Amino acid sequence: MQLTQEQIDFFQTFGYLHFPALFSPDEVAWICEEFEYSIQHFGSGNGHDGSSRTMFGGPIEHRPRLCALLDDARIIGLCNEVLGEGFNYASGDGNYYSGDTGWHPDGNWNQLFAVKIAFYLDPLARDSGCLRVLPGSHHPDHFVRAQHIDLNNAQALFGIEPRDIPGNLALETQPGDLVIFNHDLYHASFGGSTRRRMFTMNLTRPCSTPEDVETLRQYVSVHSPGGYSVDTGAGMYFPTMLSTAGPERMRHLRQCADLHDELFPQFARK
Ligand SMILES: O=C(O)CCC(=O)C(=O)O
């Protein structure tokens, strides 16, 4: 997939892009099936009672067909355009969400260092848990960042509900849509069910300078299986992701895998 210059500029300015119906109904069917299998067998989905979020790591890494999302020309093309060729895949999370998430960014990198790709597996509208974004809030000089405004405290600060923060956008989605956003972008979800299914892929830009490699090391030291004290049996990634990888996919795995082995030798690949 190739982006237009306008789409690239939109992403840089507003911090997100939404692609409606990027995946066909047939693809949505197998993606949902594989997601359900994964969260039930590799996460604790079978114990989900809706009282809190159920989350598991590396949602695309347990089943060969989901692993191949990292070979998919649409995803590769999008990441090449937004991050640059040689981007890194840096795990992700699979969820049955329950209720609101509150406003938060996923990172405070003050630069386009990492992005999240999100797949929503149920139709979601503004009051039933769709992703909300605060466009432009990834910029370090955005007023929310510059003034350290706690958006979740909007009632006390401004007499409004957090979901009514001016300027926020409800990205209503159907299964098959894809959303990508800069980790530094403030986002939230309000009014969702107790079993809102979504999974993500995190990706970073290619890291070749010493500064970028250091930033990636910090990233992997926290946002990785080792960072959460999880032993995948194969370091940074669950074994199926590596055992089904061809040379092209390995390009996107190698750098985080090596850093993870170095940072967490107790969990290193054998
Ligand atoms: O629930 C959502 O859609 C937001 C997801 C989210 O907060 C996150 O992935 O960090």
The Å distance, Cα 158 to ligand 1 centre, comes to 24
Residue whose CA lies nearest to ligand 1 atom number 9: 200
- End-to-end, the C-alpha distance of the chain in Å comes to 36
Helix axes 254-263, 210-222, angle to 10 degrees: 70
Pick the CATH number of 5-206 from 3.30.565.10, 3.10.450.40, 3.40.630.10, 2.60.120.620: 2.60.120.620
The Å distance, Cα 16 to ligand 1 centre, comes to 13
Mutate to test the pocket of ligand 1, among 115, 189, 197 (most ligand atoms within 8 A of CB): 189
Domain residue limits, the chain:
5-206
What atom of ligand 1 comes closest to residue 124's alpha carbon? 3
Distance CA 178, CA 217 (A): 28
Mutate to test the pocket of ligand 1, among 93, 120, 187 (most ligand atoms within 8 A of CB): 187
Q: Which two tokens stand for residue 77?
A: 């093309």
Q: Which two tokens stand for residue 95?
A: 């969820």
Beta pairing partners, 116: 181, 202
User: What pLDDT is recorded for position 243?
Assistant: 98
Count other C-beta atoms under 10 Å from residue 33's C-beta: 12
User: What pLDDT is recorded for position 1?
Assistant: 84
| Predicted confidence pLDDT, tens digits, the chain (270 residues) | 899 999 999 999 999 999 999 999 999 999 999 999 999 999 999 999 999 999 999 999 999 999 999 999 999 999 999 999 999 999 999 999 999 999 999 999 999 999 999 999 999 999 999 999 999 999 999 999 999 999 999 999 999 999 999 999 999 999 999 999 999 999 999 999 999 999 999 999 999 999 999 999 999 999 999 999 999 999 999 999 999 999 999 999 999 999 999 999 999 998
Distance CA 56, CA 200 (A): 11
User: What pLDDT is recorded for position 270?
Assistant: 82
Alpha carbon 256 to its chain's center? 16
Q: Which two tokens stand for residue 156?
A: 């006390």
- Which of 234, 71, 268, 75 has the alpha carbon at shortest distance from 242? 234
**Any residues with CB less than 8 A from the CB of 54 and at least 6 apart, and which?**
39, 43, 44, 45, 47, 48, 95, 96, 98
What atom of ligand 1 comes closest to residue 104's alpha carbon? 7
What atom of ligand 1 comes closest to residue 116's alpha carbon? 9
Distance CA 232, CA 256 (A): 14
Distance CA 44, CA 60 (A): 15
Residue whose CA lies nearest to ligand 1 atom number 5: 188
